[in-house]
Structure 1
Amino acid sequence: MKKLFLLTTLLFISVACQTESDKSLSVADSETPSLFTDADLGISHHRSFVEVRLSAAALCPGMNTLSCRKELHRLHRQVAEDYPIPVPQPNVPPLISAEEATVLYKKYLTVHANAPILVVFKQLYPRILLNRYGILASNHHKQILYFTEHMIEAHSQDFATLAKALPLLQNDIPRPVLGGWLTTLIPEAEAQERTVLTGIAELKAALGQKQPEKFTFERLEAMANQLRLADMETNTISADVVTLRKLRQAAIQ
Structure 2
Amino acid sequence: MLSSDAVVVVTGGGRGIGRAVSMLAAGRGYKVCLSYVSDAGAAAKVVAAIETAGGAAVAVRCDVADEADVVALFEAADRLGTVTALVNNAGVVDLPARVSEMSAARLHRMMATNVVGSVLCAREAVRRMSTRSGGRGGAIVNVSSIAARLGGAGQFVDYAASKGAIDSFTVGLAREVAGEGIRVNAVAPGIIDTEIHASGGTPDKAAALGPTVPMRRAGTAEEIAGPVLWLLSDEAAYTTGAILDVSGGR
Instruction: Give the TM-score band, short-chain normalised.
Output: 0.3 to 0.5
Greater percentage in strand: 2
TM-score, with length taken from structure 1? 0.33
Bigger radius of gyration among the two: 1
Greater percentage in helix: 1
